[in-house]
């Protein structure tokens, strides 16, 4: 009897312990589940062969796949370079854990996703390796930001160098300018010149003068680009500015069949901004539109300028039915010194300067283009 | 060219070749021109000779255009200065604190534009000069000076015209 009662007491004790272990297990599982469900990072588990057996909710965010879609696939398949990722996994098998920075994966949508990956071996009670667990932290955004920052830095540096060069070049250009002016006067006064020679020399001097003007144009634009001018903000009617822009460019379309339509929201469009700088932007964009239409042949050329007021934002779109911007040029449109025009026609400064101005005014300059159909540039600026 | 003959121009720039051609052209048109290749040299010339208009480069080694212009004005208060700048922005030139200049022009400057500016500056100088002269004459009349005073006063008037 006595042994019976002690046995039952033991049993009760074991049952209690089991119950408490069960609770503990339940809590641990809930805790892990919570981490797996809520983490924005991709947490995965593979078997010993590297085949995926678990894939956290974060994986959907990071790579776009759900567990069902990747279950049974080797994890290295998801990497941009499966071979080098497989070697990371192999390294983990030797060391028990591994960290790989900046590993490129491919998102379900096709774009590259960069992650910092840490891997750890999963072992059973006997200490045998049964798989691995990995955590992937998405660093694509940071990486992009960092690249942007480097780019901005580089641009600023280029700007400073360019301004220095422009400034230095202005002096010799000034000398050439004066020398050619003096030469013109000497030629005008010269007695012994044949009419042919005189004409020839006058032509040469005129060309020198024209080319110094060209240099001057470039250096002044460049210096204007670099300087952080104070904005002269005041209230004005944007519609007036746009009308003036079109007036200014009337001579450009005089002998073409290009039509410029103005589709404005009703009434005046008051904004508080820098009218002079905005006009510079519009002149540039409309002139580009005219060139695009002319380059296409100018037949039935049409440029439409639209205005729109959206809450506190003003939008001006300039649409042309020119040839559009070929794909290979599209990401270079705002690049400094990038031009598709023949030498002497474009400086590659127009649109970068426009973008700079619009940004300084707190807005954004963007474009949409379809090859063969046309291009629309859109200036968005705050109304105040 | 009679009005041009009377304009006395002081050119100040460390770019000697530039001044060579600029002075040749201005001289040919009948202006009276002196060239100085530094701010310091300009000051020395201005101590000896009166000018109507000075054309000063902003960026020079040693004494820069701002300081040169200020010093020139100390010596010859009615002198009008045209400042040449290589800066893309006239605004930035203005910000450097020389509101005293008659006009700012961007380098490389267009010759006709420069000549027009020189003529405008000269006109302004003439107006200031007449005003000043009239004031001095009125002062002399009001004070009723003797012979000695008149001699002194005429010296002063000559100084206004830069003909002592």
- pLDDT tens, B46-78? 999 999 999 998 888 888 888 888 899 899 989
> pLDDT value at position B163?
65
With a cut of 90, say whether residue A183 has pLDDT above it: yes
Contacts of A166 in chain B (CB under 8 A): 88
Between CA A137 and CA A62 the distance in angstroms is: 8
Token digits of residue A175: 């000398």
Instruction: Pick the residue of B20, B57, B87, B108 with the most A CBs within 10 A to test the interface with A by mutation.
Output: B108
Between CA B82 and CA B7 the distance in angstroms is: 14
**Per-residue confidence at B24, pLDDT binned at 50, 70, 90?**
very high
CATH of region A234-382, choose from 3.10.20.590, 3.40.50.300, 3.30.565.10, 1.10.490.20: 3.30.565.10
Residues constituting chain A:
384
Strands (E), chain B: 8-12, 32-36, 53-57, 80-85, 103-106
Q: B36 lies in a domain?
A: yes
> pLDDT value at position B159?
75
Q: State pLDDT tens for residues A301-351.
A: 889 999 998 888 999 999 999 888 888 888 878 876 667 776 656 666 678
Lowest mean pLDDT segment, chosen from A227-236, B131-140, B154-163: A227-236
Report CB contact under 8 Å: B89, A167.
no
- State the DSSP string of A268-328: --EEEE-HHHHHHHHHHHHHHHHHHHHHHT-TT-EEEEEEEEETTEEEEEEEE-S----HH
Spans of all domains in chain A: 39-138, 144-226, 234-382
Q: Which CATH class is domain A39-138?
A: alpha beta
Instruction: Count up the domains in chain B and report the number.
Output: 1
Count of CB atoms situated within 10 Å of the CB of A382: 14
Q: State pLDDT tens for residues A184-210.
A: 999 999 998 999 999 999 999 999 988
Query: What value does the mean pLDDT take over residues A87-103?
Result: 84
Lowest mean pLDDT segment, chosen from A287-296, A298-307, B96-105: B96-105
> pLDDT value at position B22?
92
Give yes or no for A167 touching B (CB within 8 A). Answer: yes
Contacts of A226 in chain B (CB under 8 A): 88
Name the average pLDDT for chain B. Answer: 82
> pLDDT value at position B95?
47
> pLDDT value at position A298?
67
Query: What value does the mean pLDDT take over residues A226-247?
Result: 78
Between CA B53 and CA A4 the distance in angstroms is: 125
**Per-residue confidence at A355, pLDDT binned at 50, 70, 90?**
confident
Q: Do domains A144-226 and A234-382 have the same CATH topology?
A: no
| A93, A96, A99, A105 alpha-carbon torsion, rounded to 10° | 40
Q: B18 lies in a domain?
A: yes
Q: How many contacts (CB atoms, under 8 Å) link A and B?
A: 67
Query: What value does the mean pLDDT take over residues A279-308?
Result: 86
Q: If we measure between CA atoms, which residue out of A186, A102, A165, A314 comes closest to residue B28?
A: A186
Contacts of B96 in chain A (CB under 8 A): none
Instruction: Pick the residue of A178, A213, A214, A217 with the most B CBs within 10 A to test the interface with B by mutation.
Output: A178
Give yes or no for A179 touching B (CB within 8 A). Answer: yes
Q: B146 lies in a domain?
A: no
Q: B121 lies in a domain?
A: yes
Token digits of residue A137: 């932290």
Give yes or no for A170 touching B (CB within 8 A). Answer: yes
Residue that wins the pLDDT comparison between A255 and A74: A74
Report CB contact under 8 Å: B111, A178.
yes
Q: B158 lies in a domain?
A: no
**Per-residue confidence at A156, pLDDT binned at 50, 70, 90?**
low
Q: B123 lies in a domain?
A: yes
**Per-residue confidence at B41, pLDDT binned at 50, 70, 90?**
very high
Report CB contact under 8 Å: A185, B28.
yes
> pLDDT value at position B26?
93
Give residue B98's domain range: 2-128
Q: How many CA atoms lie within 13 Å of A224's alpha carbon, on the beta-carbon side? A: 17
CATH number at residue B112: 3.40.50.2300
Contacts of B109 in chain A (CB under 8 A): 174, 177
Token digits of residue B162: 């830069």
**Which numeric CATH code is attached to A144-226?**
1.10.287.130
Q: Tell me which DSSP letter residue A305 carries.
A: E
With a cut of 90, say whether residue A257 has pLDDT above it: no
Report CB contact under 8 Å: B91, A229.
yes
Between CA A161 and CA A163 the distance in angstroms is: 5
**Per-residue confidence at B118, pLDDT binned at 50, 70, 90?**
very high
Q: B135 lies in a domain?
A: no
> pLDDT value at position A337?
66
Of A166, A175, A185, the CB nearest to B15: A175
Lowest mean pLDDT segment, chosen from A25-34, A121-130, A187-196: A121-130
Q: B160 lies in a domain?
A: no
Q: How far is A370 from chain B (nearest CA, A)?
A: 36
Q: Tell me which DSSP letter residue A234 carries.
A: E
Surface of B (31-50) touching A: CB under 8 A: none
Lowest mean pLDDT segment, chosen from A261-275, A282-296, B84-98: B84-98
User: Is the ipTM beyond the 0.90 threshold?
Assistant: no
> pLDDT value at position A84?
85
Report CB contact under 8 Å: A181, B107.
no
Query: What value does the mean pLDDT take over residues A137-154?
Result: 80
Between CA A83 and CA A304 the distance in angstroms is: 53
Residue that wins the pLDDT comparison between A316 and B1: A316
């Amino acid at each position: 009897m006595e042994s019976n009662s002690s046995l039952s007491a033991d049993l009760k004790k074991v049952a209690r312990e089991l119950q408490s272990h069960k609770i503990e297990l339940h809590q641990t599982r809930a805790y892990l589940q919570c981490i797996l469900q809520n983490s924005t990072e991709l947490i995965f588990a593979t078997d010993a062969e590297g085949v995926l057996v678990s894939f956290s909710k974060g994986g959907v965010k990071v790579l776009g796949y759900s567990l069902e879609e990747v279950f049974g696939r080797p994890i290295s398949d998801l990497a941009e370079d499966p071979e080098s990722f497989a070697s990371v996994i192999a390294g983990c098998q030797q060391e028990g854990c591994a960290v790989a920075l900046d590993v490129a994966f491919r998102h379900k949508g096709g774009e590259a996703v960069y992650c910092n990956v840490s891997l750890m071996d999963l072992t059973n009670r006997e200490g045998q390796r049964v798989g691995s667990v990995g955590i992937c932290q998405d660093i694509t955004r940071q990486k992009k930001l960092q690249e942007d920052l480097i780019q901005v830095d580089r641009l600023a540096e280029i700007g400073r160098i360019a301004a220095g060069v422009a400034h230095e070049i202005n002096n010799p250009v000034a000398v050439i300018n004066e020398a050619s002016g003096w030469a013109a006067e000497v030629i005008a006064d010269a007695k012994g010149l044949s009419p042919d020679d005189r004409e020839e020399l006058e032509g040469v001097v005129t060309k020198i003068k024209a080319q110094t003007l060209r240099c001057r144009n470039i250096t002044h634009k460049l210096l204007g680009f670099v300087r952080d001018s104070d904005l002269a903000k005041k209230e004005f009617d944007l519609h007036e500015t746009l009308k003036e822009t079109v007036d200014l460019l009337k001579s450009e379309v005089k002998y073409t069949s290009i039509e410029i339509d103005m589709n404005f929201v009703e009434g005046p469009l008051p904004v508080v901004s820098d009218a002079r700088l905005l006009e510079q932007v519009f002149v540039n964009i409309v002139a580009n539109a005219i060139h695009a239409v002319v380059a296409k042949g100018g037949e039935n050329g049409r440029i439409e300028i639209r205005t729109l007021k959206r809450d506190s934002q003003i939008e001006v779109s300039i649409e042309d039915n020119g040839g559009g911007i070929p794909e290979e040029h599209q990401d270079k449109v705002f690049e400094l010194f990038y031009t598709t025009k023949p030498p002497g026609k474009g400086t590659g400064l127009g649109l970068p300067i426009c973008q700079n101005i619009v940004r300084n005014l707190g807005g954004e300059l963007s474009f949409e283009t379809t090859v063969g159909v046309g291009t629309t540039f859109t200036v968005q600026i705050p109304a105040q | 060219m009679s009005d041009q003959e009377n304009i006395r121009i002081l050119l100040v720039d460390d770019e000697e070749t530039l001044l060579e051609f600029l002075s040749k052209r201005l001289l040919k048109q009948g202006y009276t021109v002196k060239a100085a290749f530094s701010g310091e040299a300009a000051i020395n010339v201005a101590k000896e000779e009166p000018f109507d208009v000075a054309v000063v480069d902003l960026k020079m080694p040693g004494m820069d255009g701002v300081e040169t212009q200020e010093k020139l004005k100390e010596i010859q208060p009615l002198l009008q200065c045209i400042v040449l700048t290589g800066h893309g922005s006239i605004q930035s030139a203005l910000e450097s604190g020389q509101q005293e200049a008659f006009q700012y022009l961007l380098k490389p400057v267009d010759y006709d534009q420069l000549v027009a500016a020189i003529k405008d500056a000269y006109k302004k100088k003439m107006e200031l000069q007449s005003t000043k002269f009239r004031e001095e004459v009125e002062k002399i009349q009001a004070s009723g000076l003797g012979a000695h005073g008149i001699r002194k006063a005429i010296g002063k008037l000559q100084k206004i015209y830069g003909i002592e």
